Amino acid sequence: MDTNLPNKSDWAIKIIAILAVLYTLQVARDVMLPITLALIFALLLAPAVSRLQKIGLPRSIAAIIIMTLGLSAITGSVYALASPASEWLQRVPEAVEVLRDQLGNVNSDNDNVDAASRSIDSLAKEFSASPSDPQLTQVVIADAGWRSELGEIAKNFGVYGTLSIILLFFLLTSGEALMKRFIHSLPTQRDKAVVTRIAELAQTQMSRYLLTITAVNISVGAVTALGLWLADFPDPALWGAVAALLRYIPYLGVSITLILFTIVSAVSYSNPAAIIAAPLSYGLFTAFTGQFIDPFVHGLRFSLNPIVVFLWIFFWGWLWGAPGVLLAVPLLTLFQVVCQHTERLLPLAHIIGDSNE
């Protein structure tokens, strides 16, 4: 019985350590998000910076050129889509009313439900009212509304984005030298070789993954925008960009896009056939892409277990919200590389999925 005590204490320490890490990640969200975002983009852009350095440019100048090109493309896209996006945000109340009307037409018993709800509300008010006390003052706290929430999100995005850009510049200019110093400080040649291999594979896999999925998503977004334009769908460029962006979230992104297309169709059209045309066409197109295009483009290199991917997205969404959902798959790819080259974590690598080099 005494021989089992060290085993149990080791497991208890490991569980406590995992819980402490999870708690730290959640509490330090505002600090970890910019760092994680900068690390992922540094892995993506480092090969391009190295190529410019090989042709004679200083690394700092090469980093500035690559970052300027990337930020210009992002800023131009946001500027082009900002006007239609703001118009649709202003139409949110109208969309809610139209959807209520549509649902009311489908559900014939809706009036009875509304009448019952009004009766319950009136009874609740009657029981909660206190007319006997004339000095009683009712205080109503106004809801800030979704516009203020969007403003808060935009402010946080600006702060996190600025910190990530600054850190990204330093990682692109000095990250390689820092990694070499870290590897040089390791005690054994085996440790140095393992860490060097992990760093090289992490950069290669992450760069290849993000470039590949970005190319596929841009193509899907362009085809979607073209199809919506041919179907006379409102603001096809905006919804094509939304479709491309949401494809970075496996499984859930396509479902969210289908819901958005259905809502926009319900707001824009009254004919049932016209309402289901865009969502149905996009669903068939993404099904074809997922079955034939994605496996052909990605090959076996990025094969991940769908159950693990879904749980991983759910976990990071719970931990960091929407940014965590977007960063989940890149983080899983990095974690898989680490597991494949760490002897104790090899079983986890096989559970996550196979990655052929």
215-257 confidence digits (pLDDT tens) = 888 999 999 999 999 988 888 999 999 999 888 887 788 888 9
Does residue 156 sit in the same domain as residue 221? no
| pLDDT for 69 | 92
User: Pick from 127, 162, 185: which residue ends a domain?
Assistant: 185
Does residue 193 sit in the same domain as residue 178? no
Provide the number of structural domains found in the chain: 2
Does residue 258 sit in the same domain as residue 292? yes
98-120 confidence digits (pLDDT tens) = 666 666 655 544 555 455 456 55
DSSP per residue, 265-300: HHHH--SHHHHHHHHHHHHHHHHHIIIIIHHHHHTT
**Confidence band for 346, pLDDT divided at 50, 70 and 90:** confident
Is 134 within a domain? no
Domain span at residue 224 reads 188-357
Sequence letter at residue 58: P
Contacts of 129 by beta carbon, 8 Å cutoff, 6+ apart? none
Is 37 within a domain? yes
Spatial contact of 63 and 169, defined as CB atoms under 8 Å apart: yes
Distance CA 87, CA 63 (A): 36
**Confidence band for 64, pLDDT divided at 50, 70 and 90:** very high
Does residue 57 sit in the same domain as residue 204? no
Is 17 within a domain? yes
Does residue 290 sit in the same domain as residue 175? no
Is 125 within a domain? no
**Rounded to two decimals, what is the model's pTM?**
0.70
**Confidence band for 311, pLDDT divided at 50, 70 and 90:** confident
Does residue 289 sit in the same domain as residue 314? yes
Does residue 202 sit in the same domain as residue 79? no
